[in-house]
């Protein structure tokens, strides 16, 4: 097995650890969860670069790389649903994960016909928005835990203030919902563009 595929498998192995630390739900495990997600995101950049540099793009790698991405992102988003402080509705996560399954199915159909569906600009933008959303929401969780642990303050109280304090409260209380909504809409748009562009693959033959 080449180095790129080993990195991809390492990324997949981090998924249950990420889920565990998110489930434990305290300041230190949230910090560790952010570190794990960041490391996994970095390996996503390097495994593809290594495969291309070494000219070792394999069928296994083509299968594992998008799978690892979807497992990692789904694990993070699903973990957010159970946290009241983030106000992330389950329907958003369902829409996001459904899009991933649908496009994965589309890629499988294309692969069966020896057609490669390359990542589009909207697809790359979707991925970037998801990574930014996950990291931002994890930072919000860490900040919330730090405020509670060291001062006994809940961010929602900041909304009763004004100025910078209100802005900080809005970012910690309201921003997660709106950021997730934007990510959900962009994810849907990306999925629709893929389906329209490759609609011929869905025709009965």
Question: Model confidence over 98-108: pLDDT tens digits?
Answer: 998 888 888 87
- Where does the pLDDT of residue 177 fall: very low under 50, low under 70, confident under 90, or very high at 90 and above? very high
Q: What is the separation of C-alpha 125 from the centre of its chain, rounded to a whole number of angstroms?
A: 12
From CA 163, how far away is CA 177, in angstroms rounded?
Answer: 21
Q: Which long-range contacts (CB under 8 A, 24 or more apart) does 166-175 make?
A: 171/140, 172/140, 172/143, 172/144, 173/85, 173/87, 174/87, 175/136, 175/140
* CATH label of the domain that carries residue 179: 1.20.120.1760
Query: CA gyration radius for the chain?
Result: 19
What's the mean pLDDT when you consider all of the chain? 85
Q: List b or e across 8-19, with b for residues whose CB sees 16 or more CB atoms inside 10 angstroms.
A: bbebbebbeebb
- Where does the pLDDT of residue 171 fall: very low under 50, low under 70, confident under 90, or very high at 90 and above? very high
* Number of compact structural domains in the chain: 1
Question: Model confidence over 118-145: pLDDT tens digits?
Answer: 777 888 899 889 999 999 999 999 999 9
Given this model, what pLDDT does residue 193 score? 92
Question: Model confidence over 46-70: pLDDT tens digits?
Answer: 666 665 666 666 666 667 777 788 8
Domain that holds residue 110: 3-202
Residue 119 per-residue DSSP state: P
């Amino acid at each position: 097995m080449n180095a790129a595929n080993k990195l991809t498998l390492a990324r997949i192995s981090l998924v249950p650890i990420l889920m565990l630390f998110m489930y434990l739900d305290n300041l230190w495990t949230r910090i560790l969860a952010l570190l794990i997600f960041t490391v996994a995101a970095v390996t996503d950049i390097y495994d593809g670069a290594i495969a291309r540099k070494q000219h070792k793009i394999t069928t296994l790698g083509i299968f594992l790389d998008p799978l690892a991405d979807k497992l990692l992102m789904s694990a993070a988003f699903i973990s957010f649903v159970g946290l009241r402080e983030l106000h992330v509705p389950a329907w958003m996560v369902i829409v996001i994960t459904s899009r991933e399954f649908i496009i994965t199915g589309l890629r499988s159909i294309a692969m069966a016909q020896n057609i490669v569906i390359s990542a589009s600009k909207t697809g790359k933008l979707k991925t970037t928005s998801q990574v930014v959303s996950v990291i931002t929401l994890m930072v919000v969780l860490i900040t919330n835990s730090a405020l509670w642990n060291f001062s006994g303050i809940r961010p929602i109280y900041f909304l009763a203030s004004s100025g910078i304090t209100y802005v900080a409260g809005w970012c910690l209380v309201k921003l997660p919902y709106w950021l997730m909504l934007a990510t959900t809409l962009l994810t849907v748009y990306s999925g629709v563009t893929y389906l329209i562009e490759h609609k011929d693959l869905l025709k009965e033959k």
